[in-house]
A = this chain, B = another copy of it.
């Protein structure tokens, strides 16, 4: 009997020492055959972007490979085989500084031998956040390896998908090898997004049936800036789930290799699982002709989002060598939700504080609700009124420039004084400023650049306002009413003018969010959206705001990515674009 061990590891990018330590601490004393599988680019972390080309990185990587070789040469238990993702650098001449070729490979490590690259990734994702064709050369053929009489099919991450846009289909070409497979393994570094875990497993079962073999999927854990890796490794056999690792934390699954037994389970209808289908957006168009709307988040998915965001922000905190968070609390939903998420995320030795910065337009309820929330949750709460500074600046402009601050200048400066205070507090206490903008605001530029848009990282930048409400309500259900009901129930307002509410200048969020999702995820035109049943006036207003505010998004902080289409690294558009093409 062979045992398969999936190592769902958690290392930073370029954590060469940590990787070697993980290997050295493995229990490799098995009395019978044991196959240990590690994620894609286990040796280096993922994504590396340009640092894969940096000489110091290459040198350090080559040194690690030498260390692994030394370690492997000291192993003697023939029951052990390791498969781990890594990089293979090739040079035209031995002394070249610049590699002529870089491949994303599977290394096989056997006792007493030098690690061997046995397979090169064939399908290099190059859409959205992925730039793999920028750096890597693609593999040209499917491979299996034999070990202990078992025939092992190899795939790396994207290889398990296929697309009508690609000429290659690695799963199909594995089948066309016409060799009987005992198991198929997929080494992944697959970013998290909502609804993706289900899709991976559905596709895995489909592959298991197609190749008549159990299927083992091992994914890394971690977060690199905006990109979160959820782990969620698993094994399936036909339509049967064998085992499932945890989400967002290191884990290990040991599974005795079963015979393929797809036949005794119900066959599911084959579904189309292409990578394009990962990009399906969430608009529901009711058949009865009523208004299209966003798909609502159920409790499980609210919980998953909370896990993803709290994990992602903790990773960023750790890698930035900070131990404190600071948040500007406004009395509105977004900042309260961010505060709640940070509170949920806190680990021993870390701290969190809230700064409330009222203006002359702030209402008493904002103060009370903010204070109530912090008192209940035991979060230090500070008040720093902006009124005096605002008045001082007003007078200064009047006196020095003969030009008083009015209208937009007078609204924006309030938001920017808050940014100023928040950053000064961050400098003072060595705390990471967490941004509080949501995806709806970002999309229409309903924020002030260098004002409420400041921050090291954004938690809500991939959640529409209507979704933020759903997550907030779930938090109150699950986490002892962390967020005062007053905050959830009141009408959203930027409080930059007397009696201002968001709907003065924006359509209702449930309509706006649907329009935005149509533009961003479905890439629909205004005409399409109106045909779907959305109000023409609102569509026009949203498109108009969206296309004028690219400059704000372009200087925004990284946004924890939880959707298939998000602002950030994978969103690439001209800033000063001629936006005629977007008009209705």
Which positions in A face B, CB cutoff 8 Å?
A: 12-17, 45, 47-51, 53-57, 59-61, 92, 97-98, 100-101, 126-127, 131, 133-134, 137, 164-165, 224-225, 276, 315-316, 319-320, 382-385, 388-389, 392-393, 396-397, 400-401, 403, 405-406, 408-409, 412-413, 416-417, 419-421, 423-425, 427-428, 449-450, 454, 456, 522-528, 551, 554-558, 569, 571-583
Contacts and interface: CB of A to CB of B under 8 A. Distances in A.
Contacts of A396: 384, 388-389
A101 B576 contact: no
B412 A574 contact: no
Given A388-B392, A420-B416, A523-B55, A316 B576 contact: yes
Contacts of A421: 393
A572 B420 CA distance: 28
A64 to B, nearest CB: 10
A278 to B, nearest CB: 14
Contacts of A392: 388-389, 392
Contacts of A403: 428
A210 to B, nearest CB: 23
Contacts of A315: 576
Contacts of A101: 165
Contacts of A405: 424, 428
30 contacts: A12-B578, A13-B577, A14-B577, A14-B581, A15-B580, A50-B571, A51-B574, A53-B523, A54-B581, A56-B527, A61-B581, A126-B126, A315-B576, A320-B576, A382-B400, A384-B400, A388-B392, A388-B396, A389-B393, A393-B420, A403-B428, A409-B427, A412-B424, A413-B420, A416-B419, A416-B423, A417-B420, A419-B450, A420-B450, A456-B551
A344 B569 CA distance: 35
A16 B51 contact: no
Given A13-B577, A420-B416, A574-B49, A557 B554 contact: yes
B54 A428 contact: no
Given A450-B423, A558-B575, A57 B397 contact: no
A251 to B, nearest CB: 22
A370 to B, nearest CB: 15
A526 to B, nearest CB: 7
Given A60-B580, A393-B420, A555-B555, 18 more contacts: A13-B577, A14-B580, A45-B578, A49-B573, A56-B581, A98-B276, A100-B164, A100-B165, A224-B576, A224-B577, A384-B401, A389-B392, A389-B393, A405-B428, A409-B425, A409-B427, A413-B424, A416-B423
A523 to B, nearest CB: 5
A386 to B, nearest CB: 9
Contacts of A557: 554-555
B409 A577 contact: no
A572 B60 contact: no
B54 A582 contact: yes
Contacts of A556: 555
B133 A56 contact: no
A52 to B, nearest CB: 10
A525 B572 contact: no
Contacts of A450: 419-420, 423, 450, 454
A427 B54 CA distance: 42
B92 A164 contact: yes
Contact of A576 (B276, B319, B572, B582): B319
Nearest to A395: B388
A556 B551 CA distance: 11
Nearest to A393: B389
A581 B51 CA distance: 9
B13 A578 contact: yes
Contacts of A576: 224-225, 315-316, 319-320
A507 to B, nearest CB: 19
Contacts of A225: 574-576
Nearest to A163: B100
Given A389-B389, A524-B55, A427 B401 contact: no
A224 B382 CA distance: 44
Contacts of A526: 56
Nearest to A450: B450
B224 A574 contact: yes
A13 B12 CA distance: 39
Q: Can you list the 8 inter-chain pairs with the closest CB atoms, starting with the nearest? A: A56-B525, A409-B427, A319-B576, A12-B578, A49-B572, A57-B581, A55-B525, A409-B428
Contacts of A551: 320, 456
